C-alpha cells in the first residue's frame, strides 16, 4: 500500500522545522545507511543525537499520533525516531531496499521496518529533481509532495531519490513497525476501516450491518496482529 497523507504538518510546523534545520549541523548521510545502501547514498543528514533532530522528531511524532489516517493505515506498534536529510545539487540516492531491522540509537531497542515514510519539508517549487521513486506491485511511482505532506509505503519496496539539480530538498524520514507485519493484510484492514467510517456517516453507529462489519475488522486484527 502506497498512501499520501496530506497536511500531516501545519504550515507553521513546517516553517518551524525549516528554521531549526537551517541552523542545524549537517553531516554525511551515509552514517545511517547499510552496506549496500551506503554505496548509492549521496546526501546530507542531521545527526541522530543532535538537539534539532530530537526536538523536531517529537513534533513529527505528535503529528502522527493526531493523524487518524496514519493510525488506520500503519497500525503502528513502534516508530523509529524521525531523521532529517538534505539533497543539494548533485545529491541522489540510488535504488535500494531499507534494512529489515534497525537499532534505535542509545536504547538497546530494535524495530522491524514494515513501512517507510517521508515527510516533505521543502516547497516543491524551491528545488528541481529530488523525486522519491517507489517501485511497487502497480509499477513505478514518482513522488514529490507539497511541504508538510507525507508518503507512506512498504519498506520492502525498491526505491530511490532522483538527483537534485537546483535548490535543496529537505525532508524527514523514518520507519514504522506495524502491529500487522504483512502489507497485504494491512491493506485489507485499512480498506475495511475506511468503509466502516463511510458507513458510519451514512447509516449511524447502531446499524446491525455496521456492527457486524466492525466485528469482522477486529477479528481479523486479532488474528493478524503481532504483539
Name the pLDDT band for 37 (thresholds 50, 70, 90).
low
Reported as a single tens digit per residue, the pLDDT across 71-105 is 999 999 999 999 999 999 999 999 999 999 999 98
212 vs 203: CA distance, rounded Å: 13
End-to-end CA distance of the chain: 22
Q: Is the pLDDT of residue 34 over 80?
A: no
Domains of the chain: 3-178 (2.60.120.620), 183-224 (4.10.860)
Residues of the chain with pLDDT > 70, as a percent, come to 97
- What is the model's pLDDT at position 138? 76
The C-alpha cell that represents 186 in the structure block: 494491512
Mean pLDDT for the chain overall: 94
5 vs 64: CA distance, rounded Å: 10
Amino acid at each position: 500500500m502506497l498512501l499520501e497523507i496530506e497536511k500531516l504538518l501545519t504550515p507553521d510546523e513546517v516553517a518551524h522545522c525549516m528554521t531549526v534545520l537551517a541552523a542545524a549541523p549537517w553531516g554525511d548521510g551515509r552514517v545511517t545507511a547499510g552496506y549496500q545502501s551506503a554505496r548509492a547514498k549521496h546526501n546530507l543528514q542531521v545527526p541522530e543525537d543532535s538537539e534539532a533532530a530530537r526536538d523536531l522528531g517529537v513534533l513529527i511524532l505528535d503529528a502522527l499520533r493526531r493523524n487518524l489516517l496514519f493510525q488506520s493505515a500503519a497500525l503502528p506498534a513502534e516508530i523509529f525516531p524521525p531523521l532529517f536529510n538534505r539533497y543539494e545539487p548533485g545529491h541522489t540516492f540510488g535504488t535500494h531496499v531499507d534494512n529489515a531491522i534497525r537499532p534505535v540509537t542509545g536504547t538497546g531497542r530494535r524495530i522491524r521496518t514494515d513501512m517507510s515514510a517521508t515527510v516533505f519539508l521543502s516547497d516543491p517549487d524551491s528545488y528541481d529533481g529530488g523525486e522519491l521513486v517507489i517501485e511497487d506491485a502497480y509499477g513505478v511511482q514518482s513522488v514529490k509532495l507539497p511541504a508538510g505532506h507525507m508518503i507512506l509505503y512498504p519498506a520492502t519496496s525498491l526505491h530511490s531519490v532522483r538527483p537534485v539539480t537546483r535548490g535543496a530538498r529537505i525532508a524527514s524520514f523514518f520507519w514504522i513497525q506495524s502491529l500487522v507485519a504483512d502489507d497485504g493484510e494491512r491493506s485489507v484492514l485499512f480498506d475495511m476501516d475506511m468503509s466502516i467510517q463511510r458507513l458510519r456517516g451514512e447509516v449511524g453507529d447502531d446499524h446491525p450491518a455496521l456492527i457486524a462489519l466492525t466485528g469482522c475488522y477486529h477479528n481479523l486484527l486479532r488474528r493478524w496482529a503481532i504483539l
